[in-house]
């Protein structure tokens, strides 16, 4: 089963907890147990499983800037006359998809794990998450 989830972000550094939205889609699917694959469409955003806590979110923003400095010379910016090479590179570091098991219609996550969309693009974006819900036959 394939479903989608539509979201709007405010641009670089807007990190959204999408756990409840994904959980609602899984529960509403009628599939009792299996896995859900969640993919963010676009090359300037990422998905992670972690704690959605303000201090950690600030640390993630700082880590992205440290690993991919905003003032470096990037060939992508020259090729497309854009200034979002950092957005693409940061998204590559964190990844674009997650696979999460569920049982009895409930996501199986640790007590401090949330599904977080990391927006890295330089402007507000409309994002689509694609969800593939796969039954384990149980």
Distances (CA, A) of 36 to 28, 62, 93, 98, 114: 13, 30, 22, 8, 14
Instruction: For residues 32 and 109, give the distance between their C-alpha atoms in angstroms, rounded to a whole number.
Output: 16
Pair type for strands 126-135 and 2-8: antiparallel
pTM: 0.94
Structural domain range at position 62? 2-135
- Whole-number pLDDT of residue 37: 98
User: What integer is the mean pLDDT of 3-29?
Assistant: 97
The predicted pLDDT at position 77 comes to 82
Report the chain's terminal Cα–Cα distance, integer Å.
15
CB 101 within 8 A of CB 34: yes
Task: Report the CATH number at residue 78.
Answer: 2.60.120.460
118-137: pLDDT as tens digits = 999 999 999 999 999 999 97
pLDDT score of 138: 63
Number of compact structural domains in the chain: 1
Question: Bridge-partner residues for 8, per DSSP?
Answer: 126
pLDDT at position 83 is 86
Instruction: Please write the tens of the pLDDT for every residue from 54-111.
Output: 999 999 999 999 999 988 888 888 777 778 999 999 999 999 999 999 999 999 999 9
């Amino acid at each position: 089963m394939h479903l989608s989830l539509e979201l709007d972000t405010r641009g670089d550094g807007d990190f959204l907890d999408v756990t409840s939205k994904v959980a609602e889609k899984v529960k509403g699917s009628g599939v009792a147990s299996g896995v859900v694959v969640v993919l963010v469409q676009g090359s300037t955003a990422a998905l992670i499983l972690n704690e959605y806590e303000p201090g950690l979110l600030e640390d993630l923003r700082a880590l992205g800037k440290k690993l991919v400095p905003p003032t470096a010379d990037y060939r992508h910016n020259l090729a497309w006359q854009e200034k979002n090479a950092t957005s693409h590179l940061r998204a590559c570091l964190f990844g674009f998809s997650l696979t999460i098991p569920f049982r009895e219609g409930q996501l199986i996550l640790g007590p401090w794990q949330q599904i977080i969309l990391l927006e890295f693009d330089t402007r507000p974006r409309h994002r689509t998450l694609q969800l593939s819900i796969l039954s384990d036959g149980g």
